[in-house]
Amino acid sequence: MASIVGTIPKPVHMVEGGTLRVGNSRVSLDSVVYEFNRGEDAAAIQRNFDTLSLAEVHAAIAYYLHNKASVDEYLERRRIDFERRRAENHAQEPNRLMREKILARKNGLDPDWKK
């Protein structure tokens, strides 16, 4: 009779807000996939995200490779959402005024600013 040595934990879980996290950490799958697609190996990714074990990094990469189409779709939705939120933030009047004030100070054009 064969005995079971252990089980492999779920490599990715979704948290409130729809973000996929790796293992039991707060590291997003986005981060691991981005590094992997830049050519980093699992050991380098683990060094960059030291809350992950090497096994969790390998499991996240395997999850990505086995679900590449759906994960790429998820990443594209996240990118579009990020761009939309960034555009909304830039369009807000207080932010625009603050940016203009900072640029004026940086360029020495704000008469109320003393260096």
> Residue 1: what pLDDT?
64
Nearest-angstrom CA–CA distance, 95 and 52: 36
Q: Please say whether the beta carbons of 22 and 56 come within 8 A.
A: yes
- Count the Cβ atoms, other than its own, within 10 Å of residue 100: 12
To 10 degrees, the CA torsion angle through 45, 50, 53, 54? Answer: 30
Taking only the tens of pLDDT, the chain with its 115 residues reads: 677 777 778 899 999 988 999 999 999 999 999 999 999 999 999 999 999 999 999 999 999 999 999 999 999 999 999 999 888 877 776 677 777 888 887 777 777 766 5
> Residue 105: what pLDDT?
79
Nearest-angstrom CA–CA distance, 83 and 57: 27
